[in-house]
């Protein structure tokens, strides 16, 4: 680059350096230089000046000149060294151009003087070619160094992938642990109530046996029967609640472990997720509003979508509300054309503008000091875009406050089977 810049300054900005395909490596117009890097394949010398290019390519001489109505072209062919990994020798063309107007201004009356100008231009191009040849060794050494750096980078990326996989395994165990802990807590209350009811029934049965020995009155028996009925109903209701939680846990666990396609009701899926997450949300969230029409059916993968909802709800509970100030989370779903639009919104403190563009990046978290890994929203993005064929975006919440995560997925999922689903909790 320094050689090109120095020669361009000394040549009146009429010097071009071309590769063997006709692309400019250096050009009078900066927009033409390295256009192939930007996929601008029409910015080529051979397309703009086909006659000059054909003469240069057809010539057996390494240097020469071409007189055209627009002016005088002078060129030199430069052959590079072999590629460090083997292969053909690259070729470049150093080209100088003098306009017809400049020739006329200089009043060049004869072909001999034209040849003289061509000779001067050829000397200039030759000097550049010599400088380019001297730099060839440096370029090849730089290529070898770059190859070594690429190998080291590949090894570092491989190590990073291994670390990422290990962290994902740890997050999966963490997610399972939180799910089990939440279910255990939810079951604890009805089991405790059922245990108390059964204990009271046992006490009443003991008193009935004592009364029977001394002669039980009709009023005592009727009171016992009433108490027994109420106690059994209480125990039955709480055991049914435990049974329902167990069924939901098994369903969610089966969905998370499976990538089988099936039809499912969105409202039932959300109910299952919220029922198993209630314990972890109750201290940070004062209310969860739910607006999901019955009969909204999706033909897809309930486990991955449930994981997204759980992560978004947990993320809102963790990040949206200052400690000691629980807020409201709303979950809304609706059909829009052939898609499901699912919104998880909060009325919290919102996302700072300076980090909004980074929230989907892996390992980005504002709670590193609290053990956050920054994988929750990243995994949501991967599940929605890769597995479910949809999109997810963060918007400012209703009335300009809080945050609203908007998930849009097809009502009928893509036919390709999704890859194994990553699992991580929002942090």
Domain 2-156 has CATH 3.40.50.2300: no
Torsion from C-alpha of 201, 204, 206, 209, nearest 10 degrees: -120
Decide if 117 contacts 104 (C-beta within 8 A).
no
Highest-scoring range by mean pLDDT, 45-59, 75-89, 282-296, 405-419 = 45-59
Phi and psi dihedrals of 2, rounded to 5? -60, -35
259-410 fold: Heat Shock Protein 90 (3.30.565)
- Given this model, what pLDDT does residue 405 score? 94
Out of 241-245, 356-360, 410-414, pick the least confident.
241-245
- Look at residues 356, 318, 360, 313 and name the one whose alpha carbon lies nearest to residue 332: 313
With vertex at residue 391, the alpha carbon angle to CA 167 and CA 398, rounded to the nearest 5 degrees, is 105
- Given this model, what pLDDT does residue 404 score? 94
Highest-scoring range by mean pLDDT, 22-26, 117-121, 166-170, 224-228 = 22-26
Average pLDDT, the chain: 77
206-264 per-position pLDDT tens digit: 877 777 777 777 777 788 788 888 888 888 888 887 776 676 566 555 555 556 788 99
**Residue 393 pLDDT greater than 90, yes or no:** yes
Does pTM top 0.75 for this prediction?
no
């Amino acid at each position: 680059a320094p050689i090109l810049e120095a020669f361009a300054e000394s040549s009146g900005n009429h010097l071009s350096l071309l590769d063997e395909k006709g692309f400019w490596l250096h050009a009078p117009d900066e927009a033409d230089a390295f256009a192939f890097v930007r996929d601008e394949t029409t910015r080529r010398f051979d397309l703009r000046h086909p006659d000059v290019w054909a003469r240069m390519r057809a010539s057996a001489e390494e240097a020469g000149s071409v007189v055209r109505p627009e002016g005088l072209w002078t060129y030199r062919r430069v052959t590079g060294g072999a590629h460090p990994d083997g292969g053909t020798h690259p070729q470049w063309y150093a080209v100088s151009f003098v306009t017809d107007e400049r020739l006329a201004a200089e009043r060049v009356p004869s072909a001999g003087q034209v040849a003289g100008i061509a000779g001067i231009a050829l000397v200039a191009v030759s000097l550049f070619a010599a400088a380019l040849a001297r730099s060839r060794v440096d370029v090849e050494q730089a290529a070898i160094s770059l190859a070594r750096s690429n190998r080291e980078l590949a090894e570092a990326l491989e190590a990073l992938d291994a670390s990422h996989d290990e962290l994902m395994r740890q997050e999966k165990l963490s997610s399972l642990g939180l799910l089990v802990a939440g279910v255990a807590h939810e079951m604890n209350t009805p089991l405790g109530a059922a245990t108390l009811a059964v204990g009271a029934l046992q006490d009443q049965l003991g008193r009935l046996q004592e009364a029977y020995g001394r002669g039980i009155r009709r009023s005592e028996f009727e009171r016992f029967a009433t108490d027994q009925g109420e106690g059994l109903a209480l125990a039955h209701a709480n055991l049914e609640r435990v049974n329902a939680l167990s069924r939901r846990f098994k369903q969610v666990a089966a969905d998370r472990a499976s990538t089988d396609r099936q039809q499912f009701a969105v409202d039932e899926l959300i109910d299952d997720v919220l029922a198993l997450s209630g314990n972890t949300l109750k201290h940070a969230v004062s209310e969860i509003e739910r607006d999901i029409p019955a009969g909204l059916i999706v033909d897809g993968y309930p486990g991955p979508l449930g994981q997204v909802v759980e992560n978004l709800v947990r993320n809102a509970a963790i990040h949206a509300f200052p400690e000691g100030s629980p807020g409201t989370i709303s979950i809304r779903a609706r059909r829009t054309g052939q898609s499901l639009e699912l919104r998880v919104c909060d009325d919290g403190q919102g996302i700072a503008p300076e980090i909004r563009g980074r929230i989907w990046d892996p390992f980005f978290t504002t709670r590193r000091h609290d053990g956050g890994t920054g994988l929750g929203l990243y995994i949501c993005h991967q599940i929605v875009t890769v597995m479910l064929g949809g999109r997810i975006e963060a918007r400012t919440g209703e009335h300009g406050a809080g945050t609203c995560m908007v998930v849009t997925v097809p009502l009928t999922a893509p036919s390709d089977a999704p890859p194994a689903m990553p699992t991580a909790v929002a942090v």
